[in-house]
Chains A and B, each alone.
Chain A
């Protein structure tokens, strides 16, 4: 089985940990996994992308354009920016959160929330929009938005392994004192995923 997941977001949102958890879960489930990360200067609040390639013994680490089976956008505009890598039948989860770049706050560029949302809807089959920020806040920290989104992906049935595999990997890859918080974040995301699945019928 081959399955390509693209994660996009803003440096500091925990995309690297999310991709690591997905890849480790794939290995745990018996697959060969690769990832490619943005590390370095862009991590200082710039656009970041992680590629997770499952069943990728003979592939490179970067997902080709129109190749991703799933896109998890951690931020509205960053999701839109990466849609060209999503396959025409690909699934897409978008965290509705808006993080305005400094260029926008300074008035040098424009962040058109409605326009971007429309763009996503027009260019991918049935995007699932999630308020990851509020769910993470509910779980105890907005920093857990990455785990909320993984929970949602699992709840929606978009991942090729069981939630139990993910939970095990999360528990062993976050600091001990945050395990409970992250489990709660995962659960909240998972439930949101299940709910959206029945509503959206993707």
Chain B
């Protein structure tokens, strides 16, 4: 079957082909579609779950691998920070069934807080990592990763980047997938219990394994040395595909080292590559992982070779690499830098910027606006969190003063409060983030009686990453109905004494509830319940009537993307409007009316 598969889909099918049994993860761009694709194409024998957070996901997958099942856990790079506690101990404990940790990095970054490099996490934790340069290679790598994991009884990283995850390629899939045999089952043994004495022994073992892994990788098909000459280029990940594309356009004499497993570096092959070279350019996105390893290797072997890369300012540390950036660096290095005139004269004209915004009809707009009006004239700080609602920082709402990491809105607000007791502190958190890491922060506020107000923005889904179910939705990715975990009762059980629900589409009422919550002495929680627009079809749309005086208050106050101006006139784009009525509640002249659809 010839298919067009996105990198994430390719990885998913590769996992099914490898006989994966248990798949867990937490949604995070750019990793999300891996787990979703497995769930959608489940031959029936695979257990798939969205876990509450990455730490939980890692532990569930580890448990399955203890029992001999092949397991896969998926997350984005910052998710690995959350899962790092089980990860570090798991390296010592090891696994029985193959376990692959899929962590998607996001050079750019396009949708992340950091540009951290999971290959460094691999080095830190002593786990091998595969770094695909194309979706089709990712498809092959996951199978190799499962095999390696089982062989060395360690979890193995597969680390694609956004460009791999979200690029599609033409891939041939088998018509059907074989069902794996039943796992051997969990065998009771002291090896599964981490104790200091065991940890010491295991540490020795894991360190010894590193040399063995490096040797194994020297004969891996994902690492290759081709070409000859005095100059060499080492490239890893998607940067390799840019180097290859550029070299195919020239006839430069160069030795090329394709690095598919940046850690542990395949030293034997790397030495073959370095031998006879005068100069090397290392091309890799994010951290200089391969560069540093090559530097070390050439130093310890007393090789007389100059190695260029990030550390010599030949290439940047930050940001996503492009074909042009790689081409320029390679041209300079090879001295082939004839400046081609593309015959394309461009004068940079100032096009209006188009940053992402909260959707038309988004319930968060009403929630933010209600809090904003309620707090007018009071000194208040609004701490935000990770999700669509981070977009509430944009003008005109301007309601996100801080954003750090998942769950930090609630806790940062507490620290701010202790430093400035006279200021009001309101923390916003989405429903999925609340379950992920929000709850400990609530308990902390109650336990230490910190007077903050937490606003839970419950839109009934994990919207930012493409609408995944979560514990509050009562649905699972396997399609089954489960117990809906009620945020209200949960907060109550945490000991919060003021809890109220509010409707984001009723501005006056919501603002009143917020004022009450803020006045309350001690931690208070307001839960705004309004569905994400992806969950329903609009039943009415609004339009501007002749009453409009063109005062533009509606646009100025709430900034709904369905509203625009045509000359002096204010208009609503009918195909975008969701009929949330916010604009009409804001309009002082009753100039916005609705018509049923």
Q: What residues of chain A have their CB less than 8 Å away from a CB belonging to chain B?
A: 10-12, 20, 23-24, 27, 32-47, 58-62, 64-66, 77-78, 80-81, 83-84, 86, 88, 99-106, 108-111, 115-116, 119, 123, 141-143
Give the complex CA separation of A34 and B4 in angstroms: 8
Inter-chain CA distance A104–B29, complex, in Å, is: 28
Is B561 touching A45 in the complex (CB atoms < 8 A)? yes
Partner of A40, one of B111, B241, B359: B111
Quick one: which of B352, B357, B561 has the most chain A CB within 10 A? Answer: B352
0/1 per residue, B534-566, Cβ < 8 Å to A?
000000000000000000000110011101110
Inter-chain CA distance A105–B562, complex, in Å, is 10
Say yes or no: A78-B354 contact (C-beta < 8 A), given A44-B388, A62-B163, A100-B565.
yes
Contacts of B346 in A (CB 8 A): 83-84, 123
Report the separation of the CA atoms of residues A115 and B347 in the bound assembly, to the nearest whole angstrom: 12
**Which residue of A40, A60, A84, A101 contacts B245 across the interface (Cβ within 8 Å)?**
A60
B169 adjacent to chain A (CB < 8 Å): yes
B391 touches A44 (CB 8 A): yes
A39, B30: Cβ atoms under 8 Å? Answer: yes
Instruction: Give 26 CB contacts A-B under 8 Å.
Output: A23-B4, A27-B170, A32-B170, A35-B168, A36-B163, A36-B166, A37-B168, A41-B29, A41-B111, A41-B356, A44-B356, A46-B354, A46-B356, A59-B241, A60-B238, A65-B324, A88-B344, A102-B394, A102-B560, A103-B353, A105-B555, A105-B564, A109-B353, A115-B349, A116-B351, A142-B575
The interface on chain B, measured as residues whose beta carbon lies within 8 A of the other chain's beta carbons, has a size of 58
Instruction: Please give me the residue from chain A that is nearest to B465 by CB atom.
Output: A40
A60 vs B350: C-alpha distance in the bound complex, in angstroms? 30
Chain B residues near A (Cβ < 8 Å): 2, 4, 6, 29-30, 110-111, 134, 162-163, 166-170, 238, 241-242, 244-245, 248, 322-324, 327, 342-346, 349-359, 388, 391, 394-396, 464, 555-556, 559-561, 563-565, 573, 575-576
| B564 & A100 in contact (Cβ 8 Å cutoff) | yes
A59 CB to nearest chain B CB (Å): 5
Assess the A34–B344 pair: CB atoms within 8 A.
no
CB <8 Å contact, B352 and A33: no
Closest to A98 in B: B564
Q: Are A34 and B169 in contact (CB under 8 A)?
A: yes
With A24-B4, A45-B359, A60-B245 already in contact, the answer to whether A119 and B349 are too (CB < 8 A) is: yes
**Cβ distance A160 to chain B, nearest Cβ, rounded Å:** 15
Q: Which residue of B lies closest to A89 (CB)?
A: B343
Q: When A27-B4, A33-B4, A59-B245 are in contact, do A111 and B352 touch as well, CB less than 8 Å?
A: yes
A104 touches B349 (CB 8 A): no
Measured in the bound complex, the distance between the Cα atoms of B565 and A12 in whole Å is 20
Which of these, B166, B395, B563, contacts A39 with CB under 8 Å? B166
Q: Which residues of A contact B166 (CB under 8 A)?
A: 36-39
Nearest chain-A residue to B346 (Cβ)?
A84
